[in-house]
Amino acid sequence: MSECIFCKIINKEIPSQVIFEDEHVLAFKDINPVAPVHLLVVPKKHRESLNDIDVTDEAWLGHILIVAKKLAQELGIADSGYRVVNNCGDDGGQVVKHLHFHVIGGQPLGVKIC
């Protein structure tokens, strides 16, 4: 996916503020945060959206949620609460066509949608 901005970030072609990286995922700070903590957790395997996953993706998808929880704990937002959001498709608000999850917290979030 040569034009995918997240693939370029994963491949270190574009700089980002990386918070976590392992063989399956990369987590970095959102460049337009909506809260004091706003991370993007991105699988290294390119999938455009949740509509493009299948059963072979189960392990790394579960891993993403474990990473989100771990980062929330490390950043001190786990106890007060945080949100994990995935936007799927145009009507779902997905801007970057590479599956990703927002981890948002550090302030009361109310009912606002990311």
pLDDT in tens, 38-95: 999 999 999 999 999 999 999 999 999 999 999 999 999 999 999 999 999 999 999 9
Pairing outcome for strands 25-29 and 37-43: antiparallel
**What type of residue is 87?**
N
pTM (predicted TM-score):
0.93
Residue 35 lies in a domain: yes
- Model pLDDT, residue 113: 59
Residue 114 lies in a domain: no
Instruction: Give the model's pLDDT for residue 110.
Output: 85
- Across the range 16-40, mean pLDDT stands at 98
Please report whether residue 111 resides in a domain: no
- What is the 3-state composition of the chain as percent helix, strand, coil, each rounded to the nearest 5? 25, 20, 55
- Residue 112 forms part of a structural domain: no
Candidate list 38, 98, 100, 102, residue with the active-site label: 100
**Count of the separate structural domains present in the chain:** 1
The model's confidence at residue 112, banded by pLDDT at 50, 70 and 90, is low
Calculate the dihedral angle through the C-alpha atoms of 90, 95, 101, 107, rounding to the nearest 10 degrees.
Answer: -110
Q: What is the residue range of 76's domain?
A: 5-105
| 113 occurs within a structural domain | no
**82-85 and 37-43: which strand pairing?**
unpaired
pLDDT at 47: 97
What CATH number corresponds to the domain at position 67? 3.30.428.10
Asked if the structure places residue 88 within a domain, the reply is yes
Respond yes or no: is residue 63 known to be catalytic.
no
Output the six-digit token pair for 89.
């498709």
Q: What are phi and psi of 2, to 5 degrees?
A: -65, -25
Over residues 23-28, the mean pLDDT reads 98
